[in-house]
Amino acid sequence: MPQKFVVILAGGKGERFWPQSRRRSPKHLLPIVGDQPMLVQTLARVRPLVPAGNIFIITAADQAQAVRKQCPSLPQANIVAEPTGRDTAPAVALAAALVAQHDPHGLFAILPADHVIHDTRAYQADLRAAFAAAGSAAVMVTIGIKPHEAATGFGYIQRGARWKNAGARTFYSVRRFVEKPSLKVAQRYLAAGDYLWNAGMFVWSVPVVLQALERDAPALHAGFDQVRRGLAAGRPLAPLLRKIYPALPKISVDYALLEKAGNVVVLPAAFDWDDVGSWPAIARHHKKDAAGNVLRGRAIVEEGRNNIVVADDGHLLAVVGADDLIVVHTPDATLVCPRGRAQDIKQLLKRIGAERDAHKWL
């Protein structure tokens, strides 16, 4: 029986929840929704599925220290820092190498660190079913989310015929992966009923991933091989990665492997899911006052509707006579932004990054 592993991808640039999120403390290290950091919540959800020694976290170099602090139950060696961000495909190859070191036939789940999932029981059941499916055939299992709106911020998975039943749950073969669509196309997907959101959750075995890498991403396969051989020779991981990473292609696992593979199946999730991609999304997870305002910390809205006002640091944050604003206070920086303009925060950070004395705010 192959062992099971969970690899949590905890990178991220910390842009969309600025000023609470920063380069060194992006969303997954913060309690954006709930009392615990998102990563800690994710870890708690998977902890009953596998032993602690079988859980890896792949993070960014400048976040590793904070991750170690937040996840003291994991072996230090299981928290691995990528020297530079190279999107998800290199991280998956690295995950395969890490798992292979323990069990060359191991099964592993790739899970994002920063999503909101309330129904832990259904989540764990789906992951168990996905592990079973990945252990039963040479397939790449994805878990897809049934869309409830025509979202344009996610990729979609079109399911094909039923692949197999597992208890009350049905797996489908995947017809195709599609990139983030336009609103019109997304509306069509929603109406069609056979499209699911791609939530970046995959379960597969080391051999299946290696085969896919060899076939569709030879540069990544070569990188994986170097890591595997280095680890086998007892070389320390960090310098190995520093040497290999700069040469790796920057590419997502969807694009590098899944879109090209013919052996992908999808399990429609039985659990609730929200990626909470930016400030406006937190409104879905907070109580509101009678005027629809989300108030966190010492926040006051006088004569205003549907504002999101966050002052977790004891500072008094008062909005008077304004609607639909996001206002977030932190000890050294504050953001004021209409709810509909949250995507422009990236532009602001680009500008701050270009100012010589402003880097401390990134």
Q: Which residues contact 50 (CB under 8 A, 6 or more apart)?
A: 3, 4, 5, 6
Q: CA 353, CA 360: separation in Å to the nearest integer?
A: 9
The footprint of its own copies on residues 244-303 (CB under 8 A) is 300, 302-303
Does 215 sit near its own copies (CB under 8 A)? Answer: no
Identify which of residues 61 and 333 has a Cβ nearer to its own copies in the complex.
333
**Measured between alpha carbons, how far is 349 from 347 in angstroms, rounded to an integer?**
5
Question: What single letter denotes the amino acid at residue 248?
Answer: L
Closest approach, Cβ 313 to its own copies, in A, equals: 10
Answer yes or no whether residue 318 interacts with its own copies by CB under 8 A: yes
Segment interacting with its own copies (CB under 8 A) among 64-72, 148-156, 212-220, 308-316: 308-316
Question: Phi/psi at 9 (nearest 5 deg)?
Answer: -90, 115
Residues 6+ apart with CB under 8 A from 97: 224, 227, 228, 231
**CA torsion through residues 171, 172, 178, 184, sign:** negative
Nearest to its own copies of 138, 318 (CB atom): 318
Candidates 12, 27, 7; CA nearest to 276 is: 27
What the block records as the tokens of 24 is: 């060194």
348 binds its own copies (CB under 8 A): yes
Q: Which of 53, 121, 316, 359 binds its own copies (CB under 8 A)?
A: 316
**Which position among 168, 321, 354, 356 is part of the footprint of its own copies (CB under 8 A)?**
321
Q: Which position among 188, 347, 353, 359 is part of the footprint of its own copies (CB under 8 A)?
A: 347
Told to check if 4 binds its own copies by CB under 8 A, we report no
Rounded least distance, CB 175 to its own copies, Å: 39
Residue numbers at the binding site for its own copies (CB under 8 A):
19, 300, 302-303, 311, 315-322, 325, 327, 329, 332-338, 340-341, 344-345, 347-348, 351-352, 358, 361
